[in-house]
Amino acid sequence: MSSLINISAGSTEHKKADKNEEGITFMKRKTAKEILADSFRELAQDMPINKITVKDIIDNCGYSQATFYRQFKDKYDLIAWSYTKDFEAIIDRRKAEELSWRESLENSASYFQQHRQYLANLLTHTSGYDSFIINMTAIHSRIMNKEFDQLTEIQPADERVRAALQIYCYGCVLFSCDWILGKYDLSVKELADVYESAMSEPLRRHFL
């Protein structure tokens, strides 16, 4: 496969479109982490993830092994970082565009649809389905708790609300993974409906 992102380590040509606070589009240079993550995802289009090595990743984008290990501990650290970054971007978009939480839930469902093949590869070709569920739940819980802290003055000591948030994240992740693997035949809108209806009353008061 000919790489779409093969560049020299010192290249300044690897850029992405971004917007400033006024909504004006400009070109932003990608970081080494982003380039390595792009390389991994490109390889994952054609290879089982458990077969992709660090050497494959760096050969595909022209970086050295030393550069990879300055950014990530291993490829699973890369996967977690990339996934976290994607969902933080959904939250950031909600704030920037003043979207409702319902719209953010639809954006989350759209993300799963857009990356369904890649995520199915992760679920079926990593160290284990249960382990992946736990890691995804931890990522979502961390992001949601951070957002919850910004939405409410409830103190961290209120364990009931924190527990409800943890259960919500676990349930949504588990259902999403089953949906990704084809166990449920739902549209993006219907998937967002599930996320919305699954939210308990204490959480709905703050998020919806």
User: Is it the case that residue 182 has pLDDT exceeding 90?
Assistant: yes
Q: What residue has token string 């970082």?
A: 81
**Residue 110, φ and ψ in degrees, nearest 5:** -65, -35
With pLDDT > 90 as the criterion, what percentage of the chain qualifies?
A: 58
Phi-psi region of 148 (alpha: psi -120 to 50; beta: other; left: phi over 0): alpha
Taking only the tens place, the pLDDT of each residue in 119-138 is: 999 998 877 677 788 888 99
Weakest mean pLDDT among 9-13, 69-73, 106-110: 9-13
Query: Average pLDDT over the chain, rounded to whole?
Result: 84
Taking only the tens place, the pLDDT of each residue in 15-66 is: 555 554 455 544 568 899 999 999 999 999 999 999 999 999 999 999 999 9
**pLDDT at residue 1, rounded to an integer:** 44
* Helix H or strand E segment including 146: helix 129-151
β-strands 15-19, 25-29 pairing = antiparallel
Q: Is 32:10 a contact under the CB 8 Å cutoff?
A: no
**Residue 20, φ and ψ in degrees, nearest 5:** -85, -175
How many Å apart are CA 17 and CA 2, to the nearest integer?
Answer: 24
With pLDDT > 70 as the criterion, what percentage of the chain qualifies?
A: 83
Residue type at position 2? S
85 CB contacts (<8 Å, ≥6 apart)? 37
**pLDDT at residue 77, rounded to an integer:** 94
Model confidence at 80, pLDDT cuts 50, 70, 90, reads: very high
Weakest mean pLDDT among 61-65, 140-144, 146-150: 146-150
Terminal Cα-to-Cα distance of the chain (whole angstroms): 45
Q: Please give the structure tokens belonging to residue 96.
A: 């920037």
Residue bearing the bigger pLDDT, 199 or 15: 199
